Amino acid sequence: MPDNKNLRIDGQRLWNSLMEMAKIGATDKGGCCRLALTDLDRQSRDLFVKWCTQAGCTIRIDKMGNIFARRPGRNNDLPPVMTGSHLDTQPTGGRFDGVYGVLSGLEVIRSLNDLGYETEYPIEAVVWTNEEGSRFAPAMVASGVFAGVYDLEYGLTRADEDGKTMGEELERIGYAGEDEVGGRDVHAFFEVHIEQGPILEDEDITIGVVTDAQGQRWYELTLTGVESHAGPTPMPSRKDALLGAARVVELVNKVGLDNAPVACATVGMLNVFPSSRNVIPGRTFVTIDIRHPDDDVLTVMDKAIREGIAKIAEGIGLEYELQQIFYFAPVAFDRTCVDSVRRGAMDCSYSMREIVSGAGHDACFISQITPTSMIFVPCIDGISHNEVEDARPEWITAGCDVLLRAVLDKAGSVNP
Ligand code: HGY
Ligand code: MN
Ligand code: MN
Protein backbone atom coordinates (compact mmCIF):
# COMPACT_ATOMS: atom_id res chain seq x y z
CA MET A 1 0.00 0.00 0.00
CA PRO A 2 1.47 3.41 -0.97
CA ASP A 3 2.26 5.54 2.02
CA ASN A 4 1.28 8.77 0.27
CA LYS A 5 -1.39 10.25 2.55
CA ASN A 6 -2.50 12.50 -0.29
CA LEU A 7 -3.30 9.66 -2.63
CA ARG A 8 -6.85 10.68 -3.48
CA ILE A 9 -9.24 10.53 -6.43
CA ASP A 10 -10.92 13.55 -8.05
CA GLY A 11 -14.32 13.51 -6.32
CA GLN A 12 -15.78 16.30 -8.44
CA ARG A 13 -14.87 14.49 -11.65
CA LEU A 14 -16.45 11.26 -10.35
CA TRP A 15 -19.61 13.12 -9.29
CA ASN A 16 -19.82 14.85 -12.69
CA SER A 17 -19.46 11.50 -14.48
CA LEU A 18 -22.22 10.00 -12.32
CA MET A 19 -24.55 12.89 -13.07
CA GLU A 20 -23.74 12.71 -16.78
CA MET A 21 -24.47 8.97 -16.82
CA ALA A 22 -27.68 9.56 -14.83
CA LYS A 23 -29.08 11.54 -17.78
CA ILE A 24 -29.35 8.24 -19.68
CA GLY A 25 -32.73 6.81 -18.66
CA ALA A 26 -33.45 9.72 -16.31
CA THR A 27 -36.96 9.53 -14.78
CA ASP A 28 -39.23 12.40 -13.71
CA LYS A 29 -38.64 11.64 -10.02
CA GLY A 30 -34.87 11.96 -10.39
CA GLY A 31 -34.03 8.28 -10.76
CA CYS A 32 -32.88 6.08 -13.62
CA CYS A 33 -34.56 3.36 -15.65
CA ARG A 34 -31.99 1.55 -17.81
CA LEU A 35 -33.19 -2.06 -17.99
CA ALA A 36 -30.57 -4.57 -19.09
CA LEU A 37 -29.81 -4.69 -22.83
CA THR A 38 -32.26 -1.97 -23.78
CA ASP A 39 -31.20 0.91 -26.00
CA LEU A 40 -30.63 2.96 -22.86
CA ASP A 41 -28.28 0.28 -21.51
CA ARG A 42 -26.46 0.42 -24.84
CA GLN A 43 -26.13 4.20 -24.57
CA SER A 44 -24.68 3.92 -21.05
CA ARG A 45 -22.24 1.25 -22.24
CA ASP A 46 -21.17 3.38 -25.19
CA LEU A 47 -20.50 6.33 -22.87
CA PHE A 48 -18.47 4.17 -20.49
CA VAL A 49 -16.42 2.74 -23.39
CA LYS A 50 -15.82 6.26 -24.75
CA TRP A 51 -14.60 7.55 -21.38
CA CYS A 52 -12.35 4.52 -20.80
CA THR A 53 -10.87 4.82 -24.28
CA GLN A 54 -10.15 8.51 -23.60
CA ALA A 55 -8.39 7.36 -20.40
CA GLY A 56 -6.09 5.20 -22.50
CA CYS A 57 -7.73 1.83 -21.82
CA THR A 58 -8.06 -1.04 -24.26
CA ILE A 59 -11.59 -2.47 -24.38
CA ARG A 60 -12.55 -6.16 -24.49
CA ILE A 61 -16.11 -7.51 -24.51
CA ASP A 62 -17.06 -11.12 -23.86
CA LYS A 63 -19.93 -13.24 -25.14
CA MET A 64 -22.17 -12.18 -22.23
CA GLY A 65 -21.55 -8.51 -22.98
CA ASN A 66 -19.30 -8.01 -19.96
CA ILE A 67 -17.01 -5.05 -20.69
CA PHE A 68 -13.34 -4.99 -19.54
CA ALA A 69 -11.49 -1.65 -19.81
CA ARG A 70 -7.83 -2.46 -19.25
CA ARG A 71 -5.03 -0.19 -18.02
CA PRO A 72 -1.68 -1.89 -18.63
CA GLY A 73 0.68 -2.65 -15.76
CA ARG A 74 4.44 -3.03 -15.86
CA ASN A 75 4.03 -6.80 -16.24
CA ASN A 76 1.07 -7.53 -18.49
CA ASP A 77 1.56 -11.27 -18.24
CA LEU A 78 0.18 -11.02 -14.72
CA PRO A 79 -3.59 -11.44 -14.16
CA PRO A 80 -5.50 -8.17 -13.73
CA VAL A 81 -6.84 -6.57 -10.59
CA MET A 82 -10.48 -5.93 -11.47
CA THR A 83 -12.99 -3.47 -10.08
CA GLY A 84 -16.51 -2.79 -11.30
CA SER A 85 -20.23 -3.34 -10.97
CA HIS A 86 -23.29 -2.93 -13.25
CA LEU A 87 -24.95 -0.23 -15.40
CA ASP A 88 -28.38 -1.85 -15.64
CA THR A 89 -30.99 -0.55 -13.19
CA GLN A 90 -34.31 -1.50 -11.67
CA PRO A 91 -37.41 -0.03 -13.39
CA THR A 92 -37.59 2.52 -10.56
CA GLY A 93 -33.84 2.62 -10.05
CA GLY A 94 -31.57 5.33 -8.76
CA ARG A 95 -28.46 7.24 -9.90
CA PHE A 96 -25.96 5.23 -7.83
CA ASP A 97 -26.85 1.51 -7.57
CA GLY A 98 -24.24 -0.27 -9.70
CA VAL A 99 -23.15 2.71 -11.76
CA TYR A 100 -21.22 4.11 -8.79
CA GLY A 101 -19.04 0.99 -8.77
CA VAL A 102 -18.53 1.13 -12.54
CA LEU A 103 -17.55 4.80 -12.66
CA SER A 104 -15.37 4.45 -9.56
CA GLY A 105 -13.33 1.90 -11.49
CA LEU A 106 -12.92 4.48 -14.25
CA GLU A 107 -12.06 7.18 -11.70
CA VAL A 108 -9.33 4.96 -10.21
CA ILE A 109 -7.81 4.65 -13.70
CA ARG A 110 -8.16 8.37 -14.39
CA SER A 111 -6.53 9.17 -11.03
CA LEU A 112 -3.64 6.77 -11.60
CA ASN A 113 -3.09 8.49 -14.94
CA ASP A 114 -3.11 11.93 -13.26
CA LEU A 115 -0.74 10.74 -10.54
CA GLY A 116 1.55 9.08 -13.07
CA TYR A 117 1.33 5.81 -11.16
CA GLU A 118 2.48 2.60 -12.83
CA THR A 119 1.22 -0.62 -11.29
CA GLU A 120 2.88 -4.02 -11.39
CA TYR A 121 -0.39 -5.79 -12.33
CA PRO A 122 -2.74 -4.56 -15.07
CA ILE A 123 -6.05 -3.08 -13.88
CA GLU A 124 -9.47 -3.67 -15.46
CA ALA A 125 -12.60 -1.60 -14.89
CA VAL A 126 -15.57 -3.91 -15.48
CA VAL A 127 -19.25 -3.68 -16.43
CA TRP A 128 -21.15 -6.90 -15.63
CA THR A 129 -24.26 -7.48 -17.74
CA ASN A 130 -27.71 -7.87 -16.13
CA GLU A 131 -26.85 -7.70 -12.45
CA GLU A 132 -30.35 -6.65 -11.37
CA GLY A 133 -32.26 -9.66 -12.69
CA SER A 134 -35.23 -7.38 -13.32
CA ARG A 135 -35.74 -7.69 -17.10
CA PHE A 136 -33.95 -11.05 -17.33
CA ALA A 137 -34.18 -13.29 -14.25
CA PRO A 138 -32.25 -14.29 -12.26
CA ALA A 139 -29.84 -11.61 -11.01
CA MET A 140 -26.07 -11.53 -11.59
CA VAL A 141 -26.34 -13.74 -14.68
CA ALA A 142 -23.25 -12.56 -16.57
CA SER A 143 -20.92 -12.45 -13.57
CA GLY A 144 -22.32 -15.90 -12.82
CA VAL A 145 -21.29 -17.18 -16.25
CA PHE A 146 -17.85 -15.52 -15.81
CA ALA A 147 -17.45 -17.30 -12.46
CA GLY A 148 -18.60 -20.64 -13.88
CA VAL A 149 -21.81 -20.70 -11.81
CA TYR A 150 -23.85 -20.89 -15.04
CA ASP A 151 -22.85 -22.08 -18.49
CA LEU A 152 -22.91 -19.72 -21.49
CA GLU A 153 -25.97 -21.37 -23.03
CA TYR A 154 -27.96 -20.77 -19.83
CA GLY A 155 -26.90 -17.13 -19.75
CA LEU A 156 -27.67 -16.36 -23.38
CA THR A 157 -31.10 -18.04 -23.27
CA ARG A 158 -32.50 -16.07 -20.28
CA ALA A 159 -35.64 -14.47 -21.70
CA ASP A 160 -37.68 -11.42 -20.74
CA GLU A 161 -41.49 -11.28 -20.43
CA ASP A 162 -41.77 -10.86 -24.21
CA GLY A 163 -39.61 -13.91 -24.89
CA LYS A 164 -36.59 -11.92 -26.07
CA THR A 165 -33.38 -13.65 -24.97
CA MET A 166 -30.20 -12.08 -23.63
CA GLY A 167 -28.31 -13.47 -26.61
CA GLU A 168 -30.68 -11.80 -29.10
CA GLU A 169 -30.62 -8.51 -27.23
CA LEU A 170 -26.80 -8.52 -26.93
CA GLU A 171 -26.63 -8.92 -30.71
CA ARG A 172 -29.24 -6.20 -31.24
CA ILE A 173 -27.42 -3.59 -29.15
CA GLY A 174 -24.01 -4.55 -30.51
CA TYR A 175 -22.51 -5.94 -27.29
CA ALA A 176 -22.28 -9.63 -28.15
CA GLY A 177 -18.53 -9.77 -27.70
CA GLU A 178 -16.07 -12.35 -29.05
CA ASP A 179 -14.13 -13.18 -25.91
CA GLU A 180 -14.86 -16.35 -24.00
CA VAL A 181 -16.63 -15.65 -20.72
CA GLY A 182 -14.34 -16.24 -17.75
CA GLY A 183 -11.84 -19.08 -17.64
CA ARG A 184 -9.01 -16.60 -17.11
CA ASP A 185 -7.01 -15.66 -14.03
CA VAL A 186 -8.00 -12.63 -12.00
CA HIS A 187 -5.66 -11.41 -9.29
CA ALA A 188 -8.36 -9.77 -7.14
CA PHE A 189 -11.74 -8.05 -7.48
CA PHE A 190 -13.16 -5.08 -5.57
CA GLU A 191 -16.66 -3.58 -5.87
CA VAL A 192 -17.68 -0.28 -4.32
CA HIS A 193 -21.43 0.20 -3.83
CA ILE A 194 -23.92 2.21 -1.83
CA GLU A 195 -25.11 0.19 1.20
CA GLN A 196 -28.77 0.27 0.10
CA GLY A 197 -29.74 0.09 3.76
CA PRO A 198 -29.75 2.47 6.78
CA ILE A 199 -26.90 1.23 9.00
CA LEU A 200 -23.96 3.43 7.91
CA GLU A 201 -25.97 6.64 7.78
CA ASP A 202 -27.70 5.91 11.12
CA GLU A 203 -24.32 5.38 12.77
CA ASP A 204 -22.70 8.30 10.91
CA ILE A 205 -20.03 5.97 9.47
CA THR A 206 -18.47 6.72 6.08
CA ILE A 207 -17.00 3.36 5.01
CA GLY A 208 -18.58 -0.10 5.28
CA VAL A 209 -15.87 -2.79 5.27
CA VAL A 210 -17.98 -5.57 3.76
CA THR A 211 -16.98 -8.91 5.29
CA ASP A 212 -19.89 -11.06 4.07
CA ALA A 213 -23.05 -11.09 1.95
CA GLN A 214 -26.25 -12.89 2.86
CA GLY A 215 -27.43 -15.88 0.83
CA GLN A 216 -30.53 -15.74 -1.37
CA ARG A 217 -33.16 -18.02 -2.90
CA TRP A 218 -35.54 -16.83 -5.64
CA TYR A 219 -38.66 -18.75 -6.70
CA GLU A 220 -41.34 -18.51 -9.39
CA LEU A 221 -44.79 -19.84 -8.39
CA THR A 222 -47.75 -20.43 -10.71
CA LEU A 223 -51.09 -21.10 -8.98
CA THR A 224 -53.84 -22.55 -11.18
CA GLY A 225 -57.53 -22.62 -10.23
CA VAL A 226 -60.62 -22.17 -12.45
CA GLU A 227 -61.74 -18.95 -14.09
CA SER A 228 -65.47 -18.56 -13.51
CA HIS A 229 -68.18 -15.95 -13.29
CA ALA A 230 -67.92 -13.58 -10.32
CA GLY A 231 -71.74 -13.57 -10.02
CA PRO A 232 -73.34 -17.02 -10.09
CA THR A 233 -70.34 -19.01 -8.76
CA PRO A 234 -71.01 -19.88 -5.10
CA MET A 235 -68.16 -18.94 -2.74
CA PRO A 236 -67.47 -22.49 -1.43
CA SER A 237 -67.02 -23.93 -4.90
CA ARG A 238 -64.51 -21.36 -6.14
CA LYS A 239 -60.92 -22.23 -7.07
CA ASP A 240 -59.66 -18.68 -6.81
CA ALA A 241 -55.96 -18.42 -7.78
CA LEU A 242 -55.73 -14.83 -6.52
CA LEU A 243 -56.98 -15.85 -3.09
CA GLY A 244 -54.16 -18.41 -3.13
CA ALA A 245 -51.62 -15.76 -4.10
CA ALA A 246 -52.86 -13.45 -1.35
CA ARG A 247 -52.32 -16.21 1.22
CA VAL A 248 -48.84 -16.85 -0.22
CA VAL A 249 -47.97 -13.17 0.24
CA GLU A 250 -49.01 -13.48 3.89
CA LEU A 251 -47.03 -16.76 4.22
CA VAL A 252 -43.82 -15.25 2.80
CA ASN A 253 -44.06 -12.25 5.10
CA LYS A 254 -44.60 -14.56 8.10
CA VAL A 255 -41.57 -16.72 7.18
CA GLY A 256 -39.47 -13.55 7.18
CA LEU A 257 -40.80 -12.37 10.53
CA ASP A 258 -40.49 -15.85 12.06
CA ASN A 259 -36.75 -15.75 11.33
CA ALA A 260 -36.17 -12.23 12.62
CA PRO A 261 -34.19 -10.12 13.15
CA VAL A 262 -32.13 -10.47 9.94
CA ALA A 263 -34.20 -12.67 7.62
CA CYS A 264 -35.76 -11.02 4.57
CA ALA A 265 -38.69 -12.39 2.57
CA THR A 266 -40.39 -10.57 -0.30
CA VAL A 267 -43.05 -11.07 -2.95
CA GLY A 268 -42.04 -8.58 -5.65
CA MET A 269 -44.22 -9.59 -8.61
CA LEU A 270 -47.82 -10.81 -8.79
CA ASN A 271 -49.53 -11.27 -12.16
CA VAL A 272 -53.24 -12.15 -12.34
CA PHE A 273 -54.96 -13.96 -15.22
CA PRO A 274 -57.30 -13.04 -16.87
CA SER A 275 -57.38 -9.88 -14.69
CA SER A 276 -60.99 -8.97 -15.47
CA ARG A 277 -63.06 -7.45 -12.70
CA ASN A 278 -65.96 -9.93 -12.96
CA VAL A 279 -63.94 -13.13 -13.54
CA ILE A 280 -62.63 -15.21 -10.65
CA PRO A 281 -58.85 -15.40 -11.42
CA GLY A 282 -57.89 -18.79 -12.78
CA ARG A 283 -54.14 -18.27 -12.65
CA THR A 284 -51.59 -16.19 -10.77
CA PHE A 285 -47.81 -15.82 -11.11
CA VAL A 286 -45.88 -14.91 -7.97
CA THR A 287 -42.15 -14.28 -7.38
CA ILE A 288 -40.58 -15.00 -3.98
CA ASP A 289 -37.20 -13.71 -2.72
CA ILE A 290 -35.82 -14.96 0.64
CA ARG A 291 -32.46 -14.04 2.20
CA HIS A 292 -30.41 -14.80 5.29
CA PRO A 293 -26.69 -14.69 6.25
CA ASP A 294 -26.92 -18.25 7.66
CA ASP A 295 -27.43 -20.98 5.06
CA ASP A 296 -29.08 -23.32 7.58
CA VAL A 297 -31.73 -20.72 8.36
CA LEU A 298 -32.22 -20.13 4.62
CA THR A 299 -32.93 -23.89 4.38
CA VAL A 300 -35.47 -23.67 7.21
CA MET A 301 -37.16 -20.76 5.42
CA ASP A 302 -37.17 -22.73 2.14
CA LYS A 303 -38.93 -25.66 3.87
CA ALA A 304 -41.52 -23.39 5.49
CA ILE A 305 -42.29 -21.75 2.13
CA ARG A 306 -42.69 -25.09 0.35
CA GLU A 307 -44.88 -26.64 3.05
CA GLY A 308 -46.97 -23.49 3.38
CA ILE A 309 -47.69 -23.27 -0.34
CA ALA A 310 -48.71 -26.93 -0.48
CA LYS A 311 -51.21 -26.33 2.37
CA ILE A 312 -52.63 -23.15 0.76
CA ALA A 313 -53.09 -24.88 -2.61
CA GLU A 314 -54.75 -27.89 -1.03
CA GLY A 315 -57.07 -25.70 1.05
CA ILE A 316 -58.42 -23.88 -2.02
CA GLY A 317 -58.12 -26.78 -4.49
CA LEU A 318 -55.43 -25.17 -6.65
CA GLU A 319 -52.74 -26.80 -8.75
CA TYR A 320 -49.35 -25.18 -8.41
CA GLU A 321 -45.85 -25.20 -9.86
CA LEU A 322 -43.03 -23.89 -7.68
CA GLN A 323 -39.57 -23.47 -9.22
CA GLN A 324 -36.43 -22.24 -7.47
CA ILE A 325 -34.66 -20.14 -10.12
CA PHE A 326 -31.77 -18.66 -8.14
CA TYR A 327 -29.65 -19.60 -5.16
CA PHE A 328 -26.34 -18.64 -3.73
CA ALA A 329 -25.02 -19.46 -0.29
CA PRO A 330 -23.94 -16.70 2.07
CA VAL A 331 -20.56 -15.30 1.00
CA ALA A 332 -17.52 -14.71 3.23
CA PHE A 333 -15.27 -12.28 1.34
CA ASP A 334 -11.52 -12.83 1.16
CA ARG A 335 -9.88 -11.62 4.37
CA THR A 336 -6.78 -10.20 2.62
CA CYS A 337 -9.04 -8.07 0.42
CA VAL A 338 -11.14 -7.07 3.41
CA ASP A 339 -7.90 -5.98 5.11
CA SER A 340 -6.90 -3.95 2.02
CA VAL A 341 -10.19 -2.08 2.33
CA ARG A 342 -9.76 -1.60 6.09
CA ARG A 343 -6.22 -0.24 5.63
CA GLY A 344 -7.41 2.05 2.84
CA ALA A 345 -10.12 3.53 5.06
CA MET A 346 -7.64 3.91 7.93
CA ASP A 347 -5.02 5.63 5.72
CA CYS A 348 -7.68 8.06 4.53
CA SER A 349 -8.85 8.57 8.14
CA TYR A 350 -12.44 7.68 7.26
CA SER A 351 -14.74 6.28 9.94
CA MET A 352 -15.48 2.63 9.24
CA ARG A 353 -17.28 -0.47 10.51
CA GLU A 354 -17.63 -4.03 9.33
CA ILE A 355 -20.90 -4.81 7.64
CA VAL A 356 -22.73 -7.72 5.95
CA SER A 357 -24.30 -7.02 2.57
CA GLY A 358 -28.08 -7.46 2.50
CA ALA A 359 -28.09 -7.13 -1.27
CA GLY A 360 -26.56 -9.50 -3.79
CA HIS A 361 -23.77 -8.14 -5.98
CA ASP A 362 -21.60 -9.40 -8.82
CA ALA A 363 -18.82 -9.60 -6.22
CA CYS A 364 -20.76 -12.48 -4.62
CA PHE A 365 -20.16 -14.68 -7.67
CA ILE A 366 -16.71 -13.32 -8.57
CA SER A 367 -15.59 -14.21 -5.02
CA GLN A 368 -15.87 -17.86 -6.11
CA ILE A 369 -12.90 -17.48 -8.52
CA THR A 370 -10.65 -14.79 -7.04
CA PRO A 371 -9.98 -12.96 -3.76
CA THR A 372 -12.80 -10.41 -3.57
CA SER A 373 -14.31 -7.85 -1.23
CA MET A 374 -16.57 -4.80 -1.28
CA ILE A 375 -16.63 -1.25 -0.01
CA PHE A 376 -19.92 0.34 1.09
CA VAL A 377 -20.80 3.99 1.51
CA PRO A 378 -24.02 5.31 3.06
CA CYS A 379 -27.05 6.36 1.03
CA ILE A 380 -29.67 8.89 2.11
CA ASP A 381 -32.24 7.29 4.46
CA GLY A 382 -30.87 3.88 3.38
CA ILE A 383 -33.19 3.95 0.37
CA SER A 384 -32.38 2.17 -2.90
CA HIS A 385 -34.28 0.43 -5.74
CA ASN A 386 -36.24 3.67 -5.65
CA GLU A 387 -35.99 6.77 -7.83
CA VAL A 388 -35.23 8.97 -4.81
CA GLU A 389 -32.00 7.00 -4.13
CA ASP A 390 -29.36 9.55 -3.16
CA ALA A 391 -25.91 9.93 -1.60
CA ARG A 392 -23.71 12.78 -0.41
CA PRO A 393 -20.78 13.71 -2.70
CA GLU A 394 -18.34 13.30 0.19
CA TRP A 395 -19.49 9.70 0.67
CA ILE A 396 -19.08 9.00 -3.05
CA THR A 397 -15.55 10.44 -2.95
CA ALA A 398 -14.61 8.54 0.21
CA GLY A 399 -15.62 5.15 -1.17
CA CYS A 400 -13.56 5.71 -4.31
CA ASP A 401 -10.55 6.98 -2.31
CA VAL A 402 -10.61 3.67 -0.42
CA LEU A 403 -11.08 1.73 -3.66
CA LEU A 404 -8.00 3.40 -5.15
CA ARG A 405 -5.88 2.26 -2.22
CA ALA A 406 -7.35 -1.24 -2.09
CA VAL A 407 -6.70 -1.72 -5.82
CA LEU A 408 -3.13 -0.42 -5.44
CA ASP A 409 -2.63 -2.70 -2.47
CA LYS A 410 -3.24 -5.68 -4.75
CA ALA A 411 -1.89 -4.25 -8.02
CA GLY A 412 1.36 -3.06 -6.47
CA SER A 413 2.67 0.36 -7.48
CA VAL A 414 6.13 0.58 -8.94
CA ASN A 415 6.44 4.28 -8.15
CA PRO A 416 8.93 5.33 -5.51
O1 HGY B 1 -31.34 -8.29 -5.55
C2 HGY B 1 -30.26 -7.81 -5.23
O3 HGY B 1 -29.81 -7.96 -4.11
C4 HGY B 1 -29.47 -7.02 -6.23
O5 HGY B 1 -29.99 -5.72 -6.27
N6 HGY B 1 -29.50 -7.62 -7.53
MN1 MN C 1 -26.31 -3.09 -7.39
MN1 MN D 1 -29.79 -3.26 -7.37
- Please say if the pLDDT value at position 82 is more than 90: yes
> What pLDDT sits at residue 5?
63
Under 8 Å between Cβ of 32 and 25: yes
- Please say if the pLDDT value at position 211 is more than 70: yes
pLDDT band at 416 (very low <50, low <70, confident <90, very high): low
Please give the C-alpha separations between residue 215 and each of 60, 89, 265, 309, in angstroms, as whole numbers. 31, 21, 12, 22
- Please say if the pLDDT value at position 2 is more than 60: no
Atom from ligand 1 closest to the CA of residue 384: 5
Question: pLDDT tens digit string along 99-119?
Answer: 999 999 999 999 999 999 999
DSSP state of 394: H
- Please say if the pLDDT value at position 363 is more than 60: yes
- Determine the 3-state secondary structure of 62 from DSSP: strand
pLDDT band at 413 (very low <50, low <70, confident <90, very high): confident
CA of residue 56 to ligand 1 center, whole Å = 32
Pocket test for ligand 1, best of 132, 292, 326 (most atoms within 8 A of CB): 132
> What pLDDT sits at residue 414?
78
> What pLDDT sits at residue 375?
98
Atom from ligand 1 closest to the CA of residue 131: 6
> What pLDDT sits at residue 105?
98
pLDDT band at 1 (very low <50, low <70, confident <90, very high): very low
What is the set of domains in the chain, with CATH numbers?
A: 11-214+330-414 (3.40.630.10), 215-328 (3.30.70.360)
State how far the Cα of 332 lies from the Cα of 350, in Å rounded to an integer: 23
204 φ/ψ sector (left φ>0, alpha ψ -120 to 50, else beta)? left
Ligand nearest to the CA of 85: 2
CA of residue 283 to ligand 3 center, whole Å = 29
pLDDT, average across residues 283-308: 98
Under 8 Å between Cβ of 338 and 209: yes
> What pLDDT sits at residue 4?
64
pTM: 0.96
Ligand nearest to the CA of 191: 2
Q: Beta-carbon neighbour count of residue 76 at 10 Å? A: 10
State how far the Cα of 65 lies from the Cα of 67, in Å rounded to an integer: 6
- Please say if the pLDDT value at position 253 is more than 80: yes
Ligand nearest to the CA of 359: 1
Pocket of ligand 1 (CB under 6 A): 131-133, 139, 359-360
- The answer for residues whose C-beta is within 8 angstroms of residue 305's C-beta and 6 or more apart is 219, 251, 252, 255, 288, 290
CA of residue 132 to ligand 3 center, whole Å = 5
Question: pLDDT tens digit string along 330-351?
Answer: 999 999 999 999 999 999 999 9
Atom from ligand 1 closest to the CA of residue 133: 6
Atom from ligand 1 closest to the CA of residue 140: 6
DSSP string, 164-232: -BHHHHHHHHT---SB-SS-S--SEEEEEEE-SSSHHHHTT-SEEEEEEE-EEEEEEEEEE---EETTT
Ligand nearest to the CA of 389: 3
DSSP state of 218: E
Atom from ligand 1 closest to the CA of residue 90: 5
Residue nearest to atom 4 of ligand 1 (CA): 360
Question: pLDDT tens digit string along 159-204?
Answer: 999 999 999 999 999 999 999 999 999 999 999 999 999 999 999 9
CA of residue 318 to ligand 2 center, whole Å = 37
CA of residue 131 to ligand 2 center, whole Å = 7
Atom from ligand 1 closest to the CA of residue 139: 6
State how far the Cα of 355 lies from the Cα of 337, in Å rounded to an integer: 14
pLDDT, average across residues 43-70: 98
Question: pLDDT tens digit string along 11-34?
Answer: 999 999 999 999 999 999 999 999
Residue nearest to atom 6 of ligand 1 (CA): 132
CA of residue 37 to ligand 2 center, whole Å = 16
Pocket test for ligand 1, best of 361, 362, 379, 383 (most atoms within 8 A of CB): 361
CA of residue 361 to ligand 1 center, whole Å = 6
State how far the Cα of 133 lies from the Cα of 137, in Å rounded to an integer: 4
Share of the chain above pLDDT 70, in %: 99
